[in-house]
Structure 1
Amino acid sequence: MVTVDECRQALHDLAAKLAANAEAQGHLDLDRTLACRVTDLGTAFHGRITGGRLIDIADGDDPKAKIALISSGADLIALIEGRLDVTRAIASRQVTIKANPFDLLKLRKLL
């Protein structure tokens, strides 16, 4: 079983990867709030995706977030580390992403 600290660190690792990708790919026109809800740990994190970067990561949920990612802690970490394919995870309902369909298309460019 994973811990809240491991999930938090995985999100910070994701932020670092996105920052590196943003440098290489250029500016992505997406500015949305993000909530990451970890179901098995009963915790959540929130932040903001802007310019292809994930910034302002903090503990706690944002019920008004424009994009919500819902998963178990282990699936969240596997997804961020690249051990879990996002398309398969969504199809098998291991991971749920609630977002506008156009935002989902833009998010695919980040990953």
Structure 2
Amino acid sequence: MATIEECRQALDGLAQRLAGADAATRKKASLDRKLACRITDLPATFVGRLHDGQLTDIERDDDGSGQITLSVSSDDLVALVGGTLKFSSAFATGRVKIDASIFDLVKLRSML
């Protein structure tokens, strides 16, 4: 099981990767939504802001909710961001769950 700090580092790494995406990719993924990431095997939730194809303002907020909610185990979060777990297979097998509108899911797909 990954630690809360490792989860935070993974989310920071994701934010850096999104910030480094080219302008066309960021434009396709343009959303302005509050994102909550619930770590299912730890008592932790992180919230941040998705806007202009970037993830910013990441903070730990265990009571936080978002317009988009991602639920994932600590190890799977680290593996997803580290590139050793493919998002599509993790989503298809239920290792990652996303609660979002269909419109937001389509937009998120272009980011991943």
TM-score, scaled relative to structure 2: 0.91
Separation in 2 of the partners of 1:67 and 1:26?
18
How many pairs does the alignment contain? 110
Between 44-53 and 75-84, the greater mean CA deviation after superposition: 75-84
Between 40-49 and 83-92, the greater mean CA deviation after superposition: 83-92
With over 3 angstroms needed to count, the CA separation of the structure-2 counterparts of 1:22 and 1:60, relative to structure 1, is farther
Maintained 8 Å contact 1:22/1:52: no
Residue 66 of structure 1: aligned partner? 67
Q: Output aligned runs, 1:1-111, within 5 Å.
A: 1-23=1-23, 25-27=25-27, 28-61=29-62, 62-63=64-65, 65-111=66-112
Maintained 8 Å contact 1:21/1:110: no
1:21 counterpart SS class:
coil
1:101, distance to aligned residue in structure 2 (A): 1.0
TM-score, scaled relative to structure 1: 0.91
Superimposed CA distance per residue, residues 27-83 of structure 1 (whole angstroms, 9 cap, x where no aligned partner): 3431110000001111110001000000000001422x1100001100011111121
- In structure 2, stretches of 5+ residues that fail to align are none
Q: What percent of counterpart residues are identical?
A: 47
1:17 counterpart SS class:
helix
Separation in 2 of the partners of 1:22 and 1:99?
25
Q: Alpha carbon RMSD of aligned pairs, Å?
A: 1.4
1:24, distance to aligned residue in structure 2 (A): 6.0
Runs of 4+ more than 2 Å apart: 22-29
Between 26-35 and 50-59, the greater mean CA deviation after superposition: 26-35
Maintained 8 Å contact 1:44/1:60: yes
Question: What letter matches 2:94 in structure 1?
Answer: R
Question: What letter matches 1:13 in structure 2?
Answer: G
